[in-house]
Structure 1
Amino acid sequence: MKLNLQEIPRVKTITKEDFIKNYFKPQKPVVIERFIEDWPAYNKWSLEYMKEVAGDKEVPLYDDRPVDYKDGFNEPHAKMKMAEYVDLLKREPTKYRIFLWNILKEVPSLQDDFSYPDFGLKLMKSLPMLFFGGTNSHTFMHYDIDLANIFHFHFEGKKQCILFDQKQNDFLYKIPHSLIVREDIDFSNPDFEKWPALQKAKGYITNLEHGNILYMPEGYWHYMKYLTPGFSMSLRAIARNPKNFGKAVYNLFVMRHYDNLMRRMKGQKWIDWKNEQAILRTHRKNKIF
């Protein structure tokens, strides 16, 4: 058995009006295949180019180890010079990924290679973030703390993306007081005997290639797996739905600080309790005993 996933619709290019009407208003994902071919980044951006312009920068690296109570919020697992990291990506599969790397801050010249597309949403210009990964490295299934509308631009290689909307929360083994699901679920090949509720979840899947844009609506869960070494840039627009905006404010100003406080007070017991609750609550809601 496989997850219940439908292919994300794809268009070659799109007008602002069509995007708002067909994807933003109904909050449906879409892949736009050829929108950025006039950007300098379309021809220039590659792993080798990033090595050239940012090789001496120290970058934060993350792998797929489970959350530890001693880890701070988004604290990296290792650091490396960008040149060494690109060499590693090209040499062999690695679990190390770069996550939320602010290119404006680190290499200001890169902002000359792209523009902020007008999709009818106000993009946050201070927050273009880059993400890198090696063959078979992946992110945990998660949603972003601010429940933003995300435009994810992919460069070099191939990347698989699996998405779920917030209506699927009851089936995903969501960790309480958190933005992730159980980290031991392999979304590219899930064990339904261990995670039976996943069979009820309805989601989306696509593979991104160089120059593709994936639009992820507000609060969508996403799992990203690099099929080959590559990198992506995300641009975001704040949540427009009042309920989602409220959740974002709660996550940023209450949930995150509460979780950090409990980690400090209870240590690993807090993490273990949350992991256990993810199973108990999901199975209770789905009457799985």
Structure 2
Amino acid sequence: MAAEPAARGGSPRRPVSPEAPPCWAAARALLPGAREELRLEFGAPVGRSAALLLRRAADLLYGAGGARGPPPGLLRLSEAACDRAWERLNAAAWRAVDREWRRAFSFGCLFRALGLCRAGAASPEALRACDLGLLLGAPVLDGVLLRLAGVLQRHLPGPGAAPPPAPKKVRRGPPPPAVEPAAAVPRLRRPSLERFRDRFLAPGKPLVLQGLVDHWPCMSKWSVDYIRQVAGSRTVPVELGSRYTDQEWSQTLMTVEEFISRYIENENQVGYLAQHQLFDQIPELKQDIGVPDYCSLGKMDEDEITVNAWFGPAGTISPLHHDPQQNFLVQVMGQKYLRLYSPQHSEKLYPHEGHLLHNTSQVDVEEPDLARFPAFEEAPFQDCILSPSEVLFIPAKHWHYVRALETSFSISFWWA
């Protein structure tokens, strides 16, 4: 049997056994042809023992050739390397974690996913290893984890017959406050770039834009069932609780399928899928969106814009807060109630003291404690109900409060 050509140049690969699982050839083709091309050298922060575990795992992976079954010890070594890196990832604040440990974690996840793939058919466990590396690690080998996740997802068995849906326990929250015309955020249909810049961007005034994103594929394609079909097997971070200022609020990792089953279809619980990596992690969703044209008025290149996903049931709340950059909030599914306050009235909104929540108000916007926060009642505001295909421009530093009125999917673009 002739040796396979190398991927992206490099040495030829060993032949792949015809007895290997169907996903293995495609997965193995993502790796460099020679073990040396992995470049498993790490900076001083990564201890010698962790680096040695990864090198031994690589030796087994490349030395296995077309052998039947996984290389003996590959899973054990890769799991041990992941455990070492995981301890370091959780030993300090995220920004304090050295990038070399994140690289080591990514390689551990890569080798673990490959070992699971070589052991049998593509599995959710192997896909989860890729997702953990994507979420918590650093990019390695030209984005190999993202490409491997795509291979595994294509080879996962399709879902069987769906069981009959369980009765839903629907939580019915209070209706939104009435939006008075005098306080309503103005609406315009596709104003010119110059008009938007002069009348809203420069003076920092909110605006609901209409007709801007109607042509995006997500507007006609996306539903809860579609998201489940495209991303159900992917592991993502989920916020538990109705708002991040609640004492019981926490974060965890789960698959999109688990999130939908627990928090979308069973609305007596509250959870929110809120993360900025979703579209990089799941390209099938990214290809259905664009970037609002008006972002071209900023100084950022398109790849510098931060894109966030917000997916949750009715009743999820973003407390009154402000962000440092301009924001286009695109509503894809469901409706949301939003209230906005100008930064010139910040002293009447009672921000939390201390650095962690300095950009967040202490006031419950819809049920304010006016005995504790008497000046809040004097702060003028604008509000609106945002519907699918509408885009809300939230100027930088503008305070905003958000409540989902229905199962909702929104996308925010932070730019400057």
TM-score by length of 1: 0.72
Q: How does 1:110-259 map to 2 (within 5 A)?
A: 110-119=285-294, 120-121=297-298, 122=300, 124-126=302-304, 127-144=306-323, 147-176=324-353, 177=355, 178-182=358-362, 185-238=363-416
Question: Bigger radius of gyration, 1 or 2?
Answer: 2
The alpha-carbon distance between structure 1 residues 18 and 200, as it changes in their structure 2 partners (threshold 3 A), is same
> What amino acid does structure 1 have at the position aligned with 2:210?
E
Deviation at 1:231, TM superposition (A): 1.2
Q: Which runs of 5+ in 2 are unaligned?
A: 1-176
Q: Contact between 1:150 and 1:236, CA under 8 Å: does it hold in 2?
A: yes
Cα shift at 1:13: 2.1
Q: Is the Cα contact below 8 Å between 2:179 and 2:384 reproduced in 1?
A: no
Verify: 1:30 aligned to 2:207, yes or no: yes
**Preserved contact between residue 212 and residue 292 of structure 2 (Cα < 8 Å):** no
In structure 1, C-alpha distance between the alignment counterparts of 2:303 and 2:414, rounded to whole Å:
8
CA distance in 2, matches of 1:214, 1:236: 12
Deviation of 1:65 after TM superposition, in Å, equals 5.7
* Conserved? CA contact 2:332–2:389, under 8 Å: yes
Q: Which aligned runs of 4 or more in structure 1 are off by greater than 6 angstroms?
A: 1-5
1:123 and 1:91 map into 2 onto residues whose CA distance is 40
Q: Which amino acid aligns with 1:85?
A: F
How far off is 1:152 after superposition?
A: 0.6
Determine the structure 1 residue equivalent to 2:218: 41
**TM-score, normalising length from structure 2?**
0.51
Instruction: Tell me the CA shift for residue 90 of structure 1.
Output: 2.9
Does the CA-based 8 Å contact 2:349-2:379 persist in structure 1? yes
CA separation of 1:54 and 1:237: change in aligned 2, threshold 3 A: same
Aligned pair count reads 229
Which structure has the higher relative contact order (CA within 8 Å, separation 6+)? 1
Q: What is the distance in 1 between the residues matched to 2:184 and 2:359? A: 24
TM-superposed CA distance for 1:54, in Å, is 1.2
Greater strand share, structure number = 1
Give the AA of the match of 1:233.
I
Determine the structure 1 residue equivalent to 2:70: none
**Alignment of structure 1 residues 10-89 onto 2, 5 Å:** 10-62=187-239, 63=241, 64=243, 66=245, 76-87=250-261, 88-89=263-264
Which is worse superposed, 76-85 or 34-43? Answer: 76-85
Q: CA deviation at 1:93?
A: 4.2
Q: Which of residues 165, 186, 190 is equivalent to 1:9? A: 186
**More displaced 10-residue stretch of structure 1: 116-125 or 156-165:** 116-125
Could you give the per-residue CA deviations for residues 175-213 of structure 1, whole angstroms, max 9, x where no partner exists?
Answer: 12222111xx32123232332110121121111111110
Q: Distance in 2 between matches of 1:123 and 1:237?
A: 9
The structural deviation recorded for 1:156 is 1.1
